[in-house]
Structure 1
Amino acid sequence: MTQTADTRVPITNVDDGSRLSDLILELQEKGLAVKGPIERRPGGAGPSDAGMIWVEGTPVTVPVDAAYVASSPYSLEAEDSGHGIYRDGVRMASATPAGRPHFYDLETADGTPYWKLALMHLDSLASTVLQTCAYWGNSDQCTFCGIGVSLSSGSTVKVKRPEQLAEVAVAARDLDGAVDITLTTGSTWGKDRGAYYVSKCGKAMKEASGLPVEVQFEPPTDLAVIDKVHDLGIDSLGIHVESFDPQVLARVAPPKARTGIERYFETWKYAVERFGEGQVSTYVILGMGEDRDVTLAGIRRAIDIGVYPFIVPLRPVPGSLMADAVPPSREYTESIARVVAPELVARGLTADKVSAGCARCQACSALGSLERTVQLGMPALGALPVSSAS
């Protein structure tokens, strides 16, 4: 994949939705230099290195810890009232860094701190319920993943129990305004790939808190697993292929490549029939060397069957096998997202209809912001020139 030189018009300020989308794309490419405290997700089972912040009231996560952030022209600066995002000393937007959630100060009866069981991702409560994976530490390890990084750092526990997570869900709702729950898991060797346990945890949390729940797992070997997950009252599913390019998938996620992209489509189709259009999503990570046309074709096919493609730029996780990589250029991410957003709007498959999970939150992607500009009839990105990449 080649990327052309930066020929875009510089952002002057964020004065409408299209400029906000543009700034989000910039921040997710270059990262944000942060001098003060900010809530962050340094590891985890998926793309992370996430500094959590509201930009002009919109939830956004941006790289803050990776080495390349040191050269970012963007910084978070304290002001007389609140904070601002600055580029080379010029104020771009107002910002509110996420503070430490109140429920982090609590612990279970056995002395486990709540923050080791689940974290607030802005307005979403999230947890990796099994912090181990059958693929970690061997030739099958997904290169973008940091699930073992969190565990080795002592910032989490290996197995979260449903009753513990139910406790945390109520506290996060009551003390910090959590609006949904996102649960993922390391994959297991079982036929369900961990789906039963993560869904059992989701059921307990939903019954205790009343919050909608998304659970994330690999395609199970038996599609009847999807029915059992649905019967547990789960609202949304994340079944993440990560890349539609088979060559990239074989390089960055060998177990997913062995499963095969066609099996993902079979699983998605079955899941959409049970959960409804837009309640099944897949991460699509951009910037791993994928073919742009193959990627767009896969995204369109997913949209056609009612699957929401959650498009994110690669966010290298410190400590992962891709720790030394860098995100793709804003132009490349934009060249795909600005094609996809209008198609999602036309299909009626937009983020505001998703019940729970990453696609509902949208903080790690500019796609939701782009959808809103299309819905409002605004130009996709303020008519800024876009350099294509292939």
Structure 2
Amino acid sequence: MDYKKLIEIKAQLLCYGIRENKWSIEFYRKQNPNNIIKGGGFVGLHFILDTKIPVLASTTFVFDKNSSYEIVKKQQFFYLKHDDGSVIRIDSITMPHWYQNTTTSHKPMSKVFAHEGTHYLHQQYAGCGYQMIGKGCKFCGTGCKWYDSSAEEIVETALQAYEENNQYQVCLGGGTKLIPSKGSEFFLSCVKKIREKNKNIPIWIEMTPPDENKYIEELINAGASGFGFNIEIWDDVLRHEICPGKSRIPKQRYFEVWDFVQKKLDKNKTNTVLITKLEPFKSTLEGIHEISKKGVRITLLPFKPWGTSAYANKVPADPENLLKLGYKLAKDMIKYHINPDKNYGCANCDSCTIEEDIRKFVLLPKKN
């Protein structure tokens, strides 16, 4: 199947997920041995679609029940089956050996990091300061109860994972701490401890913009490789409505931290998220253009009504709009020389998004 059609299928999967059945449960158990709950619920199944593109699709949420897709198994192979009867092979992304191990503190390593995509260590966490004061983002299922690993557990797991696969990238993140640094001290401790043992593994940090750039500079000086500062909603009125706490940080501050990181590291070391469907199409389109022309990589995520969020009963994003926005973003990425291959972490992974698939497999081949 050609890439354009595969990307259309991927857009449907990212928005609507996969209906749960015995085969999806088997798939899930192989990839999630400790039944980890992340972000209000397990976020999905990792697989390669038709041997070509990676996908992370949800399967356990209420909205997944309305999906047109389910998983079937024939002999030893898994397939994605549409309601029209068409099938396409999917290959499970095998979970690594370290996933079965525990830290010296006896915590399962899969509770420290989730293996996501093909080579990403995504920190497991829950809780956010904004949620705790009743001003959390309404699309987020992170909740009020803090769950974190210690810096020692993070370092031990990261180093063991890297020993197994030296392509791994560390993705640090967590709910916002309501202090000027926004919690950067914890990340700084992790970065320093990792760099004492390993100078090579990329360390990407996802955080809310701190009040002062000095906190970011400390992380860069310690060895951080890249940053994600997620603005999520472009329209200011809707930002205040949807993110009553986080929207206290003005958009201008995001541009300031992106610019600071780009000057200290490189243009292709910054990232942000825009969520589709929660604001008008034209507003997201404007955000794509204004952010892209600053050289910032945008991860375009379709809205999903996570079960523990305030928006749990809303309708998921529309795959048609996701595709239109994805093509616009991919064109801007080419125009402004934004290359995810030179970035790290979520900015380098394309399992949850379509814009990099479009850029790499549809638009760039046409140019060449």
- Are 1:126 and 2:122 matched, yes or no? yes
Residue aligning to 1:280: 270
Counterpart secondary structure, 2:133:
coil
- Distance in structure 1 (CA, Å) of the matches to 2:311 and 2:47: 24
Residue aligning to 2:251: 261
Q: Which of 69, 73, 93 is residue 98 of structure 1 equivalent to?
A: 93
Residue aligning to 1:365: 353
Residue identity in the other structure for 2:44: A
Residue identity in the other structure for 2:359: E
- Distance in structure 1 (CA, Å) of the matches to 2:197 and 2:65: 43
Q: Tell me by how many angstroms 1:100 deviates.
A: 4.3
Residue aligning to 1:344: 333
Please give the residue correspondences for 1:1-390 in structure 2 after superposition, counting only pairs within 5 Å.
15-33=1-19, 34-38=24-28, 39=31, 44=38, 49-55=43-49, 56-88=51-83, 90-122=85-117, 123-128=119-124, 131-148=126-143, 158-175=147-164, 179-209=168-198, 210-288=200-278, 290-354=279-343, 356-372=344-360, 373-377=362-366
- Distance in structure 2 (CA, Å) of the matches to 1:206 and 1:367: 32
- Distance in structure 1 (CA, Å) of the matches to 2:16 and 2:277: 13
Relative to the length of structure 2, the TM-score reads 0.89
- Please give the per-residue CA displacement for 1:63-115, whole angstroms capped at 9, x wherever unaligned: 21111211211112212342111112634432122344422221122222212
Counterpart secondary structure, 1:242:
coil
Counterpart secondary structure, 1:244:
coil
User: Do 2:71 and 2:79's aligned partners in 1 also have CA atoms closer than 8 Å?
Assistant: yes
CA spacing shift, 1:203–1:324, aligned 2, 3 Å: farther
- Distance in structure 1 (CA, Å) of the matches to 2:73 and 2:194: 37
- Distance in structure 2 (CA, Å) of the matches to 1:269 and 1:119: 30
- Distance in structure 1 (CA, Å) of the matches to 2:351 and 2:176: 24
User: Do 2:139 and 2:242's aligned partners in 1 also have CA atoms closer than 8 Å?
Assistant: yes
Counterpart secondary structure, 2:315:
coil
Q: Tell me by how many angstroms 1:222 deviates.
A: 0.8
- Distance in structure 1 (CA, Å) of the matches to 2:70 and 2:197: 40
Relative to the length of structure 1, the TM-score reads 0.84
- Distance in structure 2 (CA, Å) of the matches to 1:144 and 1:132: 14
Residue identity in the other structure for 1:84: Y
Q: Which runs of 5+ in 2 are unaligned?
A: none
- RCO comparison, higher one (Cα < 8 Å, 6+): 1
- Please give the per-residue CA displacement for 1:223-279, whole angstroms capped at 9, x wherever unaligned: 222211110111110000111111221122112211111221222222221221121
Q: Tell me by how many angstroms 1:339 deviates.
A: 1.1
CA spacing shift, 1:212–1:141, aligned 2, 3 Å: same
User: Do 2:43 and 2:58's aligned partners in 1 also have CA atoms closer than 8 Å?
Assistant: yes
Counterpart secondary structure, 1:86:
strand
**% identical aligned pairs:** 21
Alignment: residue pair count: 355
CA spacing shift, 1:321–1:68, aligned 2, 3 Å: same
